[in-house]
């Protein structure tokens, strides 16, 4: 079950011509999820800082 | 008795405090399962006999599609709680879950479109499954827009909840669209009643990816809801002391 499905790393990247579709989907999704976490985290920190400054 | 129980355990303050405790674990487990499921699916799962390697998008597309529907289902339960028991937190959770729904439904549509190019020869087709998922995406955007268009937040909460309850009719349509109509989209690979129609060597990484996507979206939802609750209740004493 854990045998590498490709003969080499180049085959893994190209995936018989399907690599461009597969990798695009995974990279875009990873970027969207990561950026979402970062944006919300940043907004939360800015909000906390503003509220702290206002109360001081 | 049920009403008092619900109100006691659904204060925004308790929600923020309790979820903050397990947020790092949910996020870590989510990322870990996603990484494991995706690496397994991309590198070690066998090639599909018909679709070749393009089928590997399934390890992302199916979890995203499931979450797109589950988040709306969660929102509809919250909407009922808000309309029936006037639970304030339920409305906050709807408003927080909607942007997460937009994100994951976009990912489901995007990954499906890209997958369609090598498999169907087209990135878009107005068939039942794809169109009903697009309607779900528009519903999420509509919910956010509706809430933002009112200056009275309580009124916005109520109207948003009504819209969510009305829109839940789209969820069984999405689910059953591949059975009710003749579509380009393939039938479900995993079904609660019929089990899995795919080989275990593909099923295991898919299941791990679904779990990972669910935990990741829960973690993102916790973060968004924390921000929204703190913003909405910023004039309350507990927020000042919490921050």
pLDDT digits (tens, 9 = 90+) for B42-84: 999 999 988 999 999 999 999 999 999 999 999 999 999 999 9
pTM of the entire structure? 0.93
> What tens digit of pLDDT does each residue of B157-182 get?
999 999 999 999 999 999 888 888 77
pLDDT band at B137 (very low <50, low <70, confident <90, very high): very high
pLDDT score at A13? 96
Optimal mutation site among A40, A48, A50, A52, interface B, most CBs of chain B within 10 A:
A40
> What does the pLDDT average to over A14-20?
95
Contact B220 A21 (CB under 8 A): no
Of the candidates B43, B61, B219, the beta carbon closest to that of A5 is on B43
Do B208 and B33 meet the contact criterion of CB atoms below 8 Å apart?
A: yes
Contact A37 B234 (CB under 8 A): no
Could you list the residue range(s) of the whole structural domain that residue B154 is in? Answer: 22-186+201-234
Residue B4 domain-assigned (yes or no): no
Residue B214 domain-assigned (yes or no): yes
Whole-number Å distance between alpha carbons of B141 and B154: 19
Domain count, chain B: 1
Check pLDDT > 70 for residue A29.
yes
User: E strands, chain B, where?
Assistant: 190-191, 195-196
B120 touches chain A (CB under 8 A): no
Whole-number Å distance between alpha carbons of B238 and A19: 51
Q: Would you put residue B14 in left (φ > 0), alpha (ψ -120 to 50) or beta?
A: alpha
Q: Which residue of A has its CA nearest to B119?
A: A18
> What does the pLDDT average to over B85-105?
96
> What tens digit of pLDDT does each residue of B177-208 get?
888 877 777 777 666 666 667 889 999 999 99
Check pLDDT > 80 for residue A22.
yes
Question: Hey, what are B224's tokens?
Answer: 């968004």
Contact A51 B234 (CB under 8 A): yes
Whole-number Å distance between alpha carbons of B96 and B227: 9
Residue B113 domain-assigned (yes or no): yes
């Amino acid at each position: 079950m854990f045998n590498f499905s490709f003969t080499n790393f180049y085959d893994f990247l190209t995936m018989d011509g399907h690599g461009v579709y597969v990798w695009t989907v995974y990279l875009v999704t990873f970027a969207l999820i990561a950026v979402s976490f970062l944006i919300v985290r940043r907004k939360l920190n800015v909000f906390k800082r503003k509220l702290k400054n206002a109360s001081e | 008795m049920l009403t008092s129980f619900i109100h006691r355990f659904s204060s925004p303050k308790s929600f923020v405090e309790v979820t903050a405790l397990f947020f790092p674990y949910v996020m870590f487990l989510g990322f870990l399962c996603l990484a494991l499921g995706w690496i397994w699916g991309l590198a070690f799962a066998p090639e599909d006999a018909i679709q070749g390697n393009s089928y590997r998008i399934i390890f992302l597309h199916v979890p995203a599609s499931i979450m797109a529907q589950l988040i709306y289902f969660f929102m509809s339960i919250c909407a009922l709680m808000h309309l029936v028991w006037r639970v304030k937190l339920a409305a906050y959770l709807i408003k927080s879950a909607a942007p997460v729904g937009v994100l994951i439904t976009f990912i489901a549509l995007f990954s499906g479109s890209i997958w369609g190019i090598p498999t169907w020869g087209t990135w878009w087709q107005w068939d039942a499954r794809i169109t009903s998922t697009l309607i779900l995406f528009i519903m999420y955007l509509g919910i956010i827009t509706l809430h933002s268009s009112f200056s009275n937040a309580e009124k916005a909460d109520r109207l948003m909840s009504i819209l969510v309850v009305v829109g839940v009719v789209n969820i069984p349509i999405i689910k059953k669209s591949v059975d009710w109509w003749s579509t380009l989209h393939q039938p479900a690979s995993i079904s609660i009643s019929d089990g899995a129609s795919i080989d275990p060597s593909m099923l295991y990484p898919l299941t791990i990816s679904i779990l990972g996507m669910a935990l990741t979206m829960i973690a993102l939802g916790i973060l968004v809801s924390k921000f929204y609750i703190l913003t909405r209740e910023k004039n309350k004493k507990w927020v000042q002391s919490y921050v």
